[in-house]
């Protein structure tokens, strides 16, 4: 069919670009992950070593720790963002004085570059001069030191991520809530459902697709956080906040161990895919028959 | 089961007033139909009874209890919405069983009730479908089923048959009437279809622009409409209205020049009136007024005749099959006892 041919012709530039900049690098990384290649090391040759890089990964304590803290970070950050984002979205559904102003202001963090967010939070949390440790100390007598205490540092990376990304969640969930028809909710009231039951049986299932889309986006983002955390804690103290992206950058690249670094990238990609797939299978697929 | 009392209810949206003091008494077990043209406030009144809309002024009570400040869920009502309002993510069975599930009824009981309602409404084969997989009429039946399953004190129906085809609508009409006879539950039913109103109601409330025009049994409204609005709204085809004045006792002079027989009414000669006669109360025969036929519409069982009386148009329904040509004159006979006389200015019945 002629129209089909024209279609392919029009698509060709896009496909070419996608191939050159998206697929080829990926294949190259996949290719490298099966090699030992350290061009600035003692033996700069690229040697095919089968799955040895992956075997090394499984026994790499630093890598495993990094995966673990990354998952923890992603879980706490995304979970809190969804909950807070939903509550804010519900708030914006109501009429209150200054709603429009507040709604605009609350999205401002979204337009701030991550590196700036990191610097600002760093300034605010620097022990003894930052505003947060200062007031925590003055008002509650709490000593906050993200340079020394691993738990505090972790908590602040999560809080920073929440501050930065909750508005995105609020906006998507608000859009979802605004698009809901109002009759099913009235029907549910008449059917005798309480507010909690309406939330659980009506609201939640109806905005489930929006929630899941948001979770996907935020999860993938959180799993590859680098710049903000790099600015705030530099991955420390110790390796407490050295999330996987940071780990690749701080530990693997300085050693110019490209084969091993590629293997980590491949594994992280694989983990992300598996998580999203599990979320999809577990939550979306069985429920979206009605939508 | 319960009676419903609406006492001088008003409704304002901001500064716009859409209900101007409506009062309706609905007895226990009665089938009451609210009719009126689009935008007259039928849905609003129904939603106020349901508790979905705040009452600006006045009082509504259900079963003797004032419900102005009672939540919808505590009013023991079931409602069928104009737009079905099905839960899109629940199957037909889940939609119908939701209220019972919320109440914590055992699964076996829910299943039994859903099955029963489904068989009444012929939904048995659709129980596992989702609303988006149903036709408009099927959705409407699911919405009905959802109300039936509840077994409430009062049913509120907002144009539940408006999306069905003619045949199904008649079948459902009978179904609802049977349901009412079997359950004996009070029903408040909104429609703008006067045939539905006439055939189903124990009592009809005719509304216009947020006011009640007349309340009464169907035939009462048909026989004694209290003004031209009700007279024109109830009955199909609509009543003929001819403007003119009383010429002499027993004679009406139309503006278009025709002279028609008047019943004995307390209207002095020269008073401007509106002369009302239903098409089905006109027949063709000796001694009638000459009218010029403009269009004939045979429907098989009867023939609708559109004719002109001088410059006024008049519309008659006759049982005979007419074979006259348009443009010929036929004699229209009007029984003065069937004539309705309304005031020329206010439209109120004289
Ligand atoms: N939320 C609202 N704000 C302002 N006016 C409203 C609102 N809802 C309804 N109205 C007005 O109230 C009047 C009554 O509306 P209602 O929906 O009760 O009409 P209805 O008799 O049910 O008409 P229909 O037969 O078309 O369903 C209408 O004039 C409508 O414009
Ligand atoms: Mg309506």
pLDDT, tens digit (0-9, with 9 covering 90-100), for A194-215: 889 999 999 998 898 889 889 9
What is the separation, in whole angstroms, between the first and last Cα of chain B? 39
Q: How far apart are CA B76 and CA B56, in angstroms?
A: 22
Question: Does the pLDDT value for residue A42 go beyond 60?
Answer: yes
Residues bordering ligand 2, an ion, CB closer than 5 Å: B 43
The alpha carbon of residue B87 is apart from the nearest alpha carbon of chain A, in Å, by: 6
Say what the ipTM of the complex is.
0.80
| pLDDT exceeds 70 at position A1 | no
Does any ligand 1 atom lie closer than 6 A to the CB of residue B192?
Answer: yes
Q: What's the CA-to-centroid distance between B25 and ligand 1, angstroms?
A: 22
Instruction: Indicate the domain borders of chain A.
Output: 33-290
Q: Does A196 touch chain B (CB under 8 A)?
A: no
Q: Looking at the partner chain, which of B51, B79, B88 has a beta carbon nearest the beta carbon of A206?
A: B88
Average pLDDT over residues B81-86: 86
- What is the share, in percent, of chain A residues with pLDDT greater than 90? 26
Residue matched to tokens 């979204």: A110
Q: What is the mean pLDDT of residues A269-288?
A: 78
- Residue length of chain B: 350
Q: What share of chain A is helix, strand, coil (3-state, %, to 5)?
A: 75, 0, 25
The DSSP bridge partners found for residue A35 are A48
Query: What pLDDT digit, counting tens, does each position of A210-247 carry?
Result: 898 899 889 888 988 888 888 888 887 888 888 988 88
Model pLDDT for residues B247-261, shown as the tens digit of each residue: 888 889 888 888 898
Q: What is the number of other CB atoms lying within 10 angstroms of the CB of residue B263?
A: 13
Among the listed ranges A249-263, A266-280, B15-29, B154-168, which one has the minimum average pLDDT value?
Answer: A249-263
Q: What's the CATH architecture for A33-290? A: Orthogonal Bundle (1.10)
Q: Whose CA is nearest to atom 29 of ligand 1?
A: B39
Examine the pLDDT at B206 and tell me if it is beyond 70: yes
Minimal Cα distance from A196: which residue of B?
A: B102
Contact A247, A176 (CB under 8 A): no
What's the pLDDT score for residue B218? Answer: 93
**Structure confidence at residue B1 (pLDDT):** 65
The answer to whether residues B315 and B322 touch, using CB atoms and an 8 Å cutoff, is no
Contacts of B13 (CB under 8 A, 6+ apart): none
Q: Which of B217, B309, B216, B213 is nearest to B254 (CA)?
A: B309
Please report the pLDDT score of residue B194 as a whole number. 85
Nearest residue of B to residue A183 by CA position? B85
> In the A/B pair of chains, how many CB contacts fall below 8 A?
73
B192 φ, ψ to 5°? -115, 10
Q: Across the interface, do A191 and B88 touch by the CB < 8 Å criterion?
A: no
Predicted confidence at residue A2, as pLDDT, reads 59
**Alpha helix positions (H), B41-135:** 42-50, 92-103, 107-120
Q: Cβ of B51 under 8 Å from any chain A Cβ?
A: yes
pLDDT tens-digit map of A88-139? 999 998 888 988 899 889 889 999 888 899 999 988 988 878 888 888 888 8
Fold category of B240-343 in CATH: OB fold (Dihydrolipoamide Acetyltransferase, E2P) (2.40.50)
Residue of A183, A191, A289 with shortest CB distance to B102: A191
Q: Residue B122 burial by CB count (10 A; 0-12/13-18/19+): exposed, middle or buried?
A: middle
Predicted local confidence at residue A47, as pLDDT: 84
Closest CA to B148 of B107, B174, B182: B182
DSSP code per residue over A65-128: HHHHHHHHHHHHHHHHHHHHHHHHHHHHHS--TTHHHHHHHTTGGGGS-HHHHHHHHHHHHSTT
Test A187 with B79 for CB contact under 8 angstroms.
yes
Looking at chain B, which residue has its C-alpha nearest residue A204? B89
Beta strand B340-343 with B186-190 is unpaired
Average pLDDT, chain A: 87
CA nearest neighbour of B44 among B58, B59, B54: B54
Task: Please tell me if the CB atom of residue B18 comes closer than 6 angstroms to any atom of ligand 1.
Answer: yes
Percent of chain B clearing pLDDT 70 (strictly above): 100
Q: Give B-chain residues touching A189 at CB under 8 angstroms.
A: 51-52, 71-73
Instruction: Tell whether ligand 1 has an atom less than 6 A from the beta carbon of residue B46.
Output: no
> How does the average pLDDT of chain B come out, rounded?
90
Which residue reads 């003929």 in tokens? B240
Domains B4-233 and B240-343 in one fold = no
B4-233 placed in CATH 3.40.50.720? no
How far is it, in rounded angstroms, from Cα A179 to Cα B105?
A: 32
Give me the pLDDT at residue A291, please.
47
Alpha-carbon distance of B113 to B96, in angstroms, equals 9
Give the pLDDT band (50/70/90) at residue B319. Answer: confident
Instruction: Quote the pLDDT of residue B264.
Output: 81
pLDDT at A290 over 50: no
How distant is the Cα of B177 from the closest Cα of chain A, in angstroms? Answer: 23
Domain ranges in chain B are 4-233, 240-343
- What is residue B205's predicted lDDT score, i.e. its pLDDT? 94
Q: Note whether B82 and B162 are within 8 A (CB).
A: yes
Question: Alpha-carbon distance A233 to A212, whole Å?
Answer: 30
Higher pLDDT, B242 or B167: B242
Locate the chain A residue with the closest alpha carbon to B82: A183
């Amino acid at each position: 069919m002629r129209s089909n041919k024209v279609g392919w012709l029009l698509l060709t530039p896009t496909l070419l670009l996608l191939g050159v900049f998206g697929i080829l690098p990926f294949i190259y990384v996949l290719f490298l992950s099966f090699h030992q290649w350290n061009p600035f090391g003692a033996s700069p040759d690229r040697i095919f070593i089968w799955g040895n890089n992956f075997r090394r990964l499984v026994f790499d304590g630093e890598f495993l720790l990094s995966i673990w803290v990354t998952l923890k970070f992603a879980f706490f950050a995304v979970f809190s963002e969804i909950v807070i984002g939903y509550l804010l979205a519900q708030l914006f559904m109501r009429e209150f004085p200054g709603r429009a102003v507040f709604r605009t202001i609350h999205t401002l963090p979204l337009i701030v570059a991550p590196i700036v967010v990191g610097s600002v939070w760093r300034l605010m949390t620097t022990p003894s001069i930052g505003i947060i440790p200062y007031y925590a100390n003055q008002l509650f007598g709490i000593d906050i030191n993200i340079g020394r205490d691993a738990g505090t540092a972790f908590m602040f990376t999560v809080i920073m991520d929440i501050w930065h990304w909750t508005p995105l969640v609020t906006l998507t969930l608000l859009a979802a809530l605004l698009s809901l028809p109002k009759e099913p909710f009235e029907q549910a009231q008449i059917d005798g459902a309480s507010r909690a039951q309406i939330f659980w049986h009506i609201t939640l299932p109806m905005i489930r697709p929006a929630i899941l889309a948001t979770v996907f986006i935020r999860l993938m983002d959180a799993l590859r956080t680098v710049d903000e955390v790099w600015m705030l804690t530099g991955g420390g103290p110790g390796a407490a906040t050295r999330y996987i992206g940071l780990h690749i950058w701080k530990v693997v690249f300085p050693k110019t161990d490209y084969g091993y670094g590629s293997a980590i990238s491949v594994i992280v990609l694989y983990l992300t895919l598996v998580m999203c797939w599990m979320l999809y299978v577990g939550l979306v697929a069985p429920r979206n028959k009605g939508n | 089961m319960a009676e419903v009392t609406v006492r001088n209810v008003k409704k304002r949206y901001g500064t716009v007033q859409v209900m101007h003091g409506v009062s309706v008494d609905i007895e226990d077990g009665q089938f009451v139909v609210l009719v009126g043209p689009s935008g007259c406030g039928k849905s609003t009144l129904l939603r106020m009874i349901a508790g979905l809309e705040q009452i600006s002024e006045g009082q509504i009570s259900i079963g003797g209890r004032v419900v102005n400040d009672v939540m919808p869920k505590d009013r023991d009502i079931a409602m069928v919405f104009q737009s079905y309002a099905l839960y899109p993510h629940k199957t037909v069975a889940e939609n119908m069983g939701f209220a019972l599930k919320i109440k914590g009824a055992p699964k076996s009981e829910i299943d039994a009730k859903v099955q029963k309602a489904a068989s009444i409404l012929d939904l048995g084969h659709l129980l596992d479908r989702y609303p988006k997989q149903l036709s408009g009429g099927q959705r409407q039946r699911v919405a009905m089923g959802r109300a039936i399953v509840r077994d409430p004190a009062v049913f509120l129906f907002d144009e539940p048959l408006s999306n069905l085809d003619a045949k199904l609508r008649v079948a459902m009409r009978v179904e609802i009437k049977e349901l009412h006879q079997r359950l004996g539950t009070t029903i408040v039913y909104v429609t703008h279809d006067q045939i539905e109103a006439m055939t189903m109601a124990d009592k009809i409330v005719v509304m216009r622009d947020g006011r009640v025009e007349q309340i009464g049994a169907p035939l009462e409204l048909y026989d004694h409409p209290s003004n031209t609005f009700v007279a024109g709204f109830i009955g199909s085809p609509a009543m003929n209205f001819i403007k003119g004045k009383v010429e002499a006792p027993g004679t009406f002079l139309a503006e278009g020049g025709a002279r028609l027989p008047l019943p004995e009414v307390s209207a002095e000669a020269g008073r401007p009136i509106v002369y009302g006669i239903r098409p089905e109360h006109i027949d063709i025969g000796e001694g009638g007024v000459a009218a010029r036929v403009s269009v004939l519409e045979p429907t098989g069982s009867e023939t609708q005749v559109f004719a002109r009386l001088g410059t006024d148009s008049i519309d008659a329904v006759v049982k005979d099959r007419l074979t006259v040509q348009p443009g010929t004159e036929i004699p229209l006979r009007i029984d003065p006892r069937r004539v309705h006389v309304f005031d020329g200015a206010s439209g109120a019945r004289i």
